Amino acid sequence: MDDQNVISVIIVEDDNEIRQLMTFLIEKTNGFNCLASFSDCENALQPIIDLQPDVVLMDIELPGISGIQGILGLKEKVKNTDFIMLTIRDDDDSIFNSLKAGASGYILKDTAPAKILEAIVEVNQGGSPMTGSIARRITESFQPLGNSILSERENEVLTDLCKGMNYREIGEKHFISGHTVRTHIKTIYSKLHVHSRAEAVRKAIDQRLI
């Protein structure tokens, strides 16, 4: 078999049964090569750096260093390796923290073996394999929430606040006095439970209010 067409894989998964099944699946399938498998991040880090696999299948919940922390440490050192999270967790924090850490794929452990192999191929071809519902949650994360507790005027002011405009500038833009702008900002701070522009900007962006 031509090594150039073989996708090399390392597995990090603490459940012995799943890890052995995955290892077996990848070892025995043409076009895939399982370089190694580990039950924790600590022991996996150095081999991943040394072996530079094409793809790492990474569990999130691991004893010691989590899969997410593991990727954070590895990302700079293995530029050509793609990470797929293979996990039972599909909560927002797990998904988005994985993506922020540098994962390119996110599939659940109950995925059919054939689909897992497909995901490995897809990520290796520059894609981002994930289940439909997770993809939807990611696309929806770009949409403003909108169901804001802020009034329309307050939203306008918050938008300008995030641009770094001061009281006077915001007031002139909307033909109201700087005093009124201040009152609006005070209300905004109170509603968002913040005490400064910096916090307000951060919260506005994080919660997609603007």
Partner DNA sequence: TTGAAAATACCGCATACGGGCGATTGACCA
Partner DNA sequence: TGGTCAATCGCCCGTATGCGGTATTTTCAA
Where do contacts with DNA occur on this chain (CB under 7 A)?
151-154, 166-168, 171, 174, 176-177, 179-180, 182-186, 189, 195-197
By C-beta, is 113 or 144 nearer to a second copy? 144
- Residue 147 in contact with a second copy, rule: CB under 8 A: no
User: Whole-angstrom Cα distance, residue 162 to residue 119?
Assistant: 39
Q: Which does 153 bind (CB under 5 to 8 A by kind): DNA, a second copy, none?
A: DNA
Q: What angle do CA 50, 53, 56 make, to 5 degrees?
A: 115
Collapsing DSSP to helix, strand or coil, 164 comes out as coil
Of residues 113, 135, 179, 186, which one binds a second copy by CB under 8 A? Answer: 135
Taking CB under 8 A as the binding criterion, the range among 18-26, 29-37, 46-54, 96-104 that sits at the site for a second copy is 96-104
Q: Tokens 């073996």 sit at which residue? A: 113
Which residues touch 63 (CB under 8 Å, ≥6 apart)?
14, 39, 40
By C-beta, is 18 or 138 nearer to a second copy? 138
Q: Where are the beta strands (DSSP E) in the chain?
A: 7-12, 32-38, 55-58, 82-87, 105-108
By C-beta, is 78 or 192 nearer to DNA? 192
By C-beta, is 137 or 153 nearer to DNA? 153
User: Whole-angstrom Cα distance, residue 62 to residue 69?
Assistant: 10
Question: Residues 168-197: x/- map of binding to a second copy (CB under 8 A)?
Answer: --------------------------xxxx
Of the candidates 192, 180, 186, 189, the one whose C-alpha atom is nearest the C-alpha of residue 149 is 192
By C-beta, is 38 or 167 nearer to DNA? 167
Q: Tokens 């306008």 sit at which residue? A: 156
- Residue 77 in contact with a second copy, rule: CB under 8 A: no
Of residues 138, 156, 178, 187, which one binds a second copy by CB under 8 A? Answer: 138
- Residue 201 in contact with a second copy, rule: CB under 8 A: yes
Which residues touch 69 (CB under 8 Å, ≥6 apart)?
41, 101
Q: How many CB atoms lie within 10 A of CB 81?
A: 22
By C-beta, is 73 or 127 nearer to a second copy? 127
**Interaction site with a second copy (CB under 8 A):** 75-76, 96, 99-105, 122, 125-133, 135-136, 138-140, 142-144, 146, 161-164, 194-202, 205-206
